[in-house]
Amino acid sequence: MPNLKVNLKWGRETYSDIECNTDKPPGKFKSDIQKLTGVDPAHQKVMTKGKILSSETWENFPITDGGMLLLMGTKKEEITKDIPKEPTKFAEDLTDSELASAQNLPLGLTNLGNTCYLNATIQCLKSVQVLTDSLKRFSGKTSDSDNSIAVTAALRDVFDKMDKGVDSPPLALVKCIHKAFPQFAERGEGGVWMQQDASECWTQVVRMLQHNSMSESENKSVIDQYFGVRLATSMKNDENEEEPVVESSEESFNLSCFITADVRYLQSGLMSKLTEKISKYSESLSRDATYTKTSRIDRLPAYLTIQMMRFFYKEKEGKNAKILKDVKFQMSFDAFDLCSKALQNKLCPMREKFRIAEDAAAAM
């Protein structure tokens, strides 16, 4: 029976009495199916009783007059509409700038030869959006004879390129830094720039930005407003109880965590630095005496910078040594115990509200 009439089921659609001539190649039948369904023959899978129709022969395909065939396949336009216009790119195939853009991260910086201390400082400052915004309004030039203006302008340009995903080494900034601070331009063997201290670089750059980064809403330096730490200090003479305790305040842009054998946690390292023994001249004793200097935070900034003091001076060898000991810290930092009584009293009402909210969330 070369001339048959069959039924075809395709998804939710059913087609009845389709003419099928088995004297002709299956490709002709599949072309007829394409006219009905729009499914390209190359994407058709015609089945019955567990057998699949080939494109070359009807042999072993149990087709019968009035039988039901099953079609599996998708229209060409439905296939192509889901195909992305651009081929898929994998992370390992992307350039640094493409990877940074895909992850919505600022572009990294090229190490120009032991300039990792500067790159780390730039990345740290780049995370402060209010500082980045203030530098966009800065109109100074890198060619200015004032070093602070030149460094600020160079940093602004680096931030701008990072935002745009432009892979450009920070040559102009390095040049301005070296001009302003010749110690960072020291060279070692082979004429390669020597390694430098990131904390020292951070301090110098921040002090230059202090005069050139102004807040838009308030006529204040962004550095003073968002980085400034005020410490309330007291100086007590350990060798003369009758000498009055001297109260004063100090301004800073960071706290220091001294790492010793006893320090295992960031909190204890910070606290140990806030209470220290110093030797100074005593007017009451007319000689040098030991004093206990106690400091507490009297103003917390929006961005609290902490320096890990990982170097100590070895007198016998006459050189600095790096401390490789781990110091643990929580992802959420609580500075309450480091604050003065006056600041703690200001913080207590809001801390209580947070406590109540956390307790309520935990009870749910």
Task: Name the band, by pLDDT with cuts 50, 70 and 90, for residue 362.
Answer: confident
Least confident of 8-22, 82-96, 242-256, 298-312: 82-96
Look at residue 315 in the predicted model and tell me its pLDDT: 74
Q: Quick check: helix, strand or coil at residue 29?
A: helix
- State how far Cα 312 lies from the chain centre: 30
Identity of the residue numbered 221: S
HEC string for 124-136: HHHCCHHHHHHHH
| Secondary structure (DSSP) of 212-243 | T-B-SSSSSBHHHHHH-EEEEEEEEETT-TTS
Question: With 90 as the cut, is the pLDDT of residue 296 above it?
Answer: yes
Judge whether 306 and 259 are in contact, CB under 8 Å: no
Look at residue 54 in the predicted model and tell me its pLDDT: 87
Question: With 70 as the cut, is the pLDDT of residue 89 above it?
Answer: no
Entry pTM: 0.65
CB count in 10 Å sphere of residue 260:
13
Where do runs of H (alpha helix) occur along the chain?
26-37, 76-80, 96-102, 116-126, 129-136, 147-164, 171-180, 198-209, 222-227, 266-274, 341-363
Question: With 60 as the cut, is the pLDDT of residue 260 above it?
Answer: yes
Six-digit token string for 357: 């909210």
Look at residue 94 in the predicted model and tell me its pLDDT: 66
Question: With 60 as the cut, is the pLDDT of residue 338 above it?
Answer: yes
Task: Name the band, by pLDDT with cuts 50, 70 and 90, for residue 55.
Answer: confident
Nearest to 337 by CA among 276, 269, 267, 273: 267
Query: Which sign, positive or negative, has the C-alpha torsion 193, 195, 200, 202?
Result: positive
Domain ranges of the chain: 3-80, 98-218, 228-359
Task: Name the band, by pLDDT with cuts 50, 70 and 90, for residue 246.
Answer: very high
Distance CA 151, CA 351 (A): 40
Task: Name the band, by pLDDT with cuts 50, 70 and 90, for residue 361.
Answer: confident
Distance CA 345, CA 67 (A): 87
Nearest to 132 by CA among 173, 109, 161: 161
- CATH topology for the 228-359 domain: Cathepsin B; Chain A (3.90.70)
Please give the torsion angle defined by the CA atoms of residues 274, 278, 282 and 284, in that order, rounded to the nearest 10 degrees. 60
Do the domains 98-218 and 3-80 match in fold? no
Look at residue 289 in the predicted model and tell me its pLDDT: 96
Nearest to 284 by CA among 233, 248, 244, 234: 244
Task: Name the band, by pLDDT with cuts 50, 70 and 90, for residue 95.
Answer: low
Question: With 80 as the cut, is the pLDDT of residue 109 above it?
Answer: yes
Question: With 80 as the cut, is the pLDDT of residue 124 above it?
Answer: yes
Six-digit token string for 198: 């990131």
Identity of the residue numbered 6: V
- The CATH number corresponding to 3-80 among 3.40.980.10, 3.40.50.10860, 3.20.20.70, 3.10.20.90 equals 3.10.20.90
- The CATH number corresponding to 98-218 among 3.90.70.10, 1.10.3720.10, 3.40.1640.10, 3.30.230.10 equals 3.90.70.10
Question: With 80 as the cut, is the pLDDT of residue 87 above it?
Answer: no
Question: With 90 as the cut, is the pLDDT of residue 23 above it?
Answer: no
Task: Name the band, by pLDDT with cuts 50, 70 and 90, for residue 234.
Answer: very high
Task: Name the band, by pLDDT with cuts 50, 70 and 90, for residue 263.
Answer: confident
Question: With 70 as the cut, is the pLDDT of residue 146 above it?
Answer: yes
- Tell me the average pLDDT of the chain: 87
Read off the pLDDT of each residue in 298-325 and give the average, rounded to a whole number. 83
Buried b (16+ CB within 10 A) or exposed e, 171-196: ebbbebbeebbeebeeeeeeeebeeb
Look at residue 247 in the predicted model and tell me its pLDDT: 95
Look at residue 195 in the predicted model and tell me its pLDDT: 87
Read off the pLDDT of each residue in 49-61 and give the average, rounded to a whole number. 87
Nearest to 307 by CA among 198, 227, 230: 198
CB count in 10 Å sphere of residue 277:
9
